[in-house]
Amino acid sequence: MNALAIIGEILVLIGTFFYFLSALGLIRMPDVYNRMQTSTKSATLGSLGVMIGVGLWALGSSFGSVAWLTKTIVIAVFLLLTNPISAHALIRAAYKSGIPLWHGSVVDKYHEYIASKTGAENAEETAEEVSE
């Protein structure tokens, strides 16, 4: 039973390491889009590691029961399904409200697509909005 506790502790450690990376990414990345990249991915996997780790840890120690593990699994699945959606909503809202890409960005197909969809006369307006 003790092996489970050790695996759980290691998972929690890995999870906190990814939390740290997520926070570091927020500082190091140049614009909102790249920050979303690092924070979403690392925070999701970090949370999964911490939650499943706590479940296994409780299973391996004397105070725990299997109820811990099943509850953490439910929470982990819920987080796994909802976290990317919130990231998508945030990044889309950022783009729609006209936050510019980083100057090092190489390609922006979405802007071309919006321009082609709204028609030639509106395209210039959209371009101005985005550049502001």
Partner 1 sequence: MEEAGKISRYLYTVIVLFLIWLFLTASTDPQELAMGLVFSLLIGAFTYPIFTTRGLANLHPRRVAYAIAYVPYFLWAMIMANLDVAYRVLHPARPIRPGIVHCKTVLKTNPGKLALANSITLTPGTITLDVDGENYFIHWIWVPDEVLHAESDEEHVERASSSITAPFEKFLRVIFG
Minimum distance between the CB of residue 130 and partner 1, rounded to whole angstroms?
Answer: 12
For residue 32, CA distances in Å to 24, 42, 80, 82, 113 come to: 14, 16, 22, 20, 21
Count of residues binding partner 1 (CB under 8 A)?
46
Min dist. Cβ of residue 83 to partner 1 (A)? 8
Taking the complex as a whole, how short is the minimal distance between the CB of residue 48 and partner 1, in angstroms? 8
Cα distances (angstroms) measured from residue 24 to each of 6, 7, 53, 68, 87:
27, 26, 23, 31, 18
Structure tokens that stand for 72 in this block: 């953490």
Report the site for partner 1 in 59-98 (rule: CB under 8 A): 65-67, 70-71, 73-74, 80-81, 83-85, 87-88, 91-92, 95
- Name the site residues for partner 1 (rule: CB under 8 A): 18, 21, 24-25, 28-31, 33-34, 36-38, 40-42, 44-45, 65-67, 70-71, 73-74, 80-81, 83-85, 87-88, 91-92, 95, 101-102, 104-111, 113
